[in-house]
Amino acid sequence: MIADLPYEPLLEIIGVFVAAMSGALAAVRKQFDVFGILVLGWATGLGGGMLRDVLIGAVPPVGISDWRLVATAVLGALTMYFFHPRLERARRVIVVLDAGALAVFTVVGTIKGLELGTTAIAAVLVGVMTGVGGGVLRDLLTGEVPVVLHHRQLYAVPALIGAAVTVALWSWDRLDTWTIVGAVLLVFGLRVLALRFRLTVPGPWRGEAQG
């Protein structure tokens, strides 16, 4: 049962709110209309979780059935809609909050995958998809190539590590409130370190011939 597992719904609410702001900001920049801004907020805040739920068969996904999550995404999008001239200046804060959303989504997504009896590999993949899926959907809906695929700054790698750690904790029967918070902080910390020190992953290997 999901209810038995000790993760904080509050964390997820914060994650949805921040991710929805990031989606709404992308829509504002593309001069979308109000409906488009709300859709982008909803898709970015809840898209990763919806992808997860469809893949593990937990339908209808919480992204459409849980009014608290939907309302949170709408509120996040509206906040960006009304305050974007001011919020754009607070870019740094948003990037750090986004790191928090990535961390929460990844760990919660991995746990939900495990709860529904998937394999370890499926839980890791589902966790990473929950973490980065909303952003991919945001980019596709605004006509951009998904930034997580080509930007080189460490974004998916912290998620991958966090999902793997969560699965490891589960298999050792060590998943409790403290270790979950620890996994979330691990992803968050790695992402913030990547931002601070501009850590990157390499691009295509050129081979010796062209070196």
Going by C-beta distance under 8 Å and a sequence separation of 6 or more, which residues neighbour residue 157? 190, 194, 201
Positions in 173-192 near a copy of itself (CB under 8 A): none
What string marks each residue from 49 to 88 as x (binds a copy of itself by CB under 8 A) or -?
-x---xxxx-xxx--xxxx--x----------xxxxxx--
CA 1 remoteness from chain centre:
23
Query: Given 3-state DSSP classes, what are the helix, strand and coil percentages for the chain, each rounded to the nearest 5?
Result: 75, 0, 20
91 is an interface residue for a copy of itself by CB under 8 A: no
Q: Tokens for 40?
A: 């982008």
* Stretch binding a copy of itself (CB under 8 A), from 94-102, 103-111, 165-173, 197-205: 197-205
Q: Tokens for 65?
A: 């059935």
149 is an interface residue for a copy of itself by CB under 8 A: yes
197 is an interface residue for a copy of itself by CB under 8 A: no
* Stretch binding a copy of itself (CB under 8 A), from 8-16, 100-108, 110-118, 169-177: 110-118
For residue 168, count other CB atoms closer than 10 A to its CB.
Answer: 15
200 is an interface residue for a copy of itself by CB under 8 A: yes
